[in-house]
Amino acid sequence: MQGYIYPNEFELQWGLLIVLYPYVTGLVAGAFILASLERVFNVKEVQPTYRLALLTALAFLLVAPLPLLGHLGHPERSYEIFLTPNRQSAMAMFGFVYAWYLAVVLLLEVWFEWRRDMVLWAQQSTGVRHWVYTALTLGATDLSERSLRFDDKAGRWITIIGIPSAFLLHGYVGFIFGSVKANPWWSSVLMPVVFLFSAIVSGIALVLILYIITSLIRSRPVDMPCVDKLATFLFYAMIVDVSLEALDFIHRLYESEESIEILAQMVESRLFISLIVLQLVLGTLVPLVLLGFFSPALRTSGRSRGADELRRLVYLVVAILVEIGIFSIRWNVVVGGQLFSKSLRGLTVYKVELLGQEGLAITLALLALPLFILWGLVKLIPPWSEARPSDAAAH
């Protein structure tokens, strides 16, 4: 701790759980936008990941409010935002945005996408699984051609509605920070856009990781055109994201004449590892170089320079590094904006605890929870094409 710090600035109000919250919601928005590439924009190469991306978005969305509830300390009172809403509070409005995105967008699209399969699974299974799938069909067991066409059309329109909804879900998180005018590290009109594009990057990287790992676990060949296309989208999304972040950083430095000295000190000391090493070097520059070198879609020659196994390994490493970089971005925004005093003359420190309400243990548990939920969803409604039941096998 150095310089002049007010007594109420010793302890940061927003800790590791608030860092986790925008990271998880970003994964939700990014995975859903990736799924929309096949559904709305007809990018056939990413079709093998469409259903997996939907289930990934749903699993992480179910966990998204838990970091906020854990931070508040009284999760049993969370229902009051619906009973006595404060329309002037961006944080309070999250409950309505979350409910819309969960109930109207994701759950409906998943139901329309899997309805045919659930009807056939209900017919082909017995015991508990029969009753579970029967309940999930909600009584809609018509498998006529007209009904299936309606499912496809309804799912497409829900996806179209879901794209701006995904933008709203994560863009408003950036709006919360960007609207804090008194904080030169946060105050920027570009903050919602930066948050949104970094969410797209993180969502693509997550689905890429899950697709490669699940293919290896299932002993199934990885669709190389699919992962090549994902790597290409990841590369271009990173270019846009890096450009926006650079513009945002330059804008904040330009408008913060009085705070430029303390911000420079903070970057050089408190945020050097998270900002320079993790975010800029490992999370941005290294992935861009590897993608540019190994992805055949990014080379003018169009010739593969390595075996498919090497390319898959590089894609996996790149995606993991990207996730580390995106989490570092969230850390630098949330924690970094609280490290300097309101007098702009001193820096405080933030020490992560292992246990406690906002400790490392609960954060890792909340990060692992959506993966367990995704595992359960995959067991219940498999996203793999070979798992889809055939009409001929129906009773």
> For residue 168, what are the domain limits?
7-382
Q: Is the pLDDT of residue 333 over 70?
A: yes
Q: Which residue has the higher pLDDT, 23 or 339?
A: 23
Q: How many CB atoms lie within 10 A of CB 315?
A: 27
User: Does 390 map to a domain?
Assistant: no
pLDDT interval class at 395 (50, 70, 90): very low
Q: Is the pLDDT of residue 252 over 80?
A: no
Q: Is the pLDDT of residue 83 over 90?
A: no
pLDDT interval class at 13 (50, 70, 90): confident
Q: Which residues contact 150 (CB under 8 A, 6 or more apart)?
A: none
Q: What value does the mean pLDDT take over residues 197-207?
A: 94
Q: Is the pLDDT of residue 394 over 50?
A: no
User: Does 392 map to a domain?
Assistant: no
Map tokens 């105050």 to a residue.
Answer: 187
- Number of structural domains in the chain: 1
- Per-residue pLDDT tens over the stretch 344-373: 777 888 888 888 788 899 999 999 999 999
Mean pLDDT of the chain: 86
The Cα 365–Cα 67 span in angstroms is 11
Which pair of tokens denotes residue 180? 């804090």
Q: Which residues contact 352 (CB under 8 A, 6 or more apart)?
A: 15, 16, 359, 360
User: Does 49 map to a domain?
Assistant: yes
The Cα 5–Cα 174 span in angstroms is 27
User: Does 290 map to a domain?
Assistant: yes
Q: Which residues contact 283 (CB under 8 A, 6 or more apart)?
A: 321, 322, 324, 325, 326, 328, 329
Q: Which residue has the higher pLDDT, 344 or 27?
A: 27
Q: Which residues contact 194 (CB under 8 A, 6 or more apart)?
A: 174, 188, 241, 244, 245, 248
User: Does 191 map to a domain?
Assistant: yes
- Per-residue pLDDT tens over the stretch 119-165: 999 998 888 999 999 999 998 989 999 999 999 999 999 999 988 88
The Cα 172–Cα 104 span in angstroms is 18
Q: What value does the mean pLDDT take over residues 175-193?
A: 79
pLDDT interval class at 380 (50, 70, 90): very high
Which pair of tokens denotes residue 230? 């994902």
User: Does 389 map to a domain?
Assistant: no
113 CA to centre of own chain: 21
Q: What is the pLDDT of residue 42?
A: 84
CATH number at residue 336: 1.20.1630.10
The Cα 56–Cα 59 span in angstroms is 5
User: Does 387 map to a domain?
Assistant: no
- Per-residue pLDDT tens over the stretch 42-74: 888 899 999 999 999 999 999 988 998 888 877
Q: What value does the mean pLDDT take over residues 249-278?
A: 81
Q: Distances in Å between the alpha carbon of 201 and those of 14, 185, 236, 259?
A: 24, 22, 9, 30
User: Does 388 map to a domain?
Assistant: no
Q: Which residues contact 191 (CB under 8 A, 6 or more apart)?
A: 174, 175, 177, 178, 248
DSSP state letter for 92: T
- Whether residue 25 contacts residue 173, with contact meaning beta carbons closer than 8 Å, is answered with yes
The Cα 49–Cα 53 span in angstroms is 6
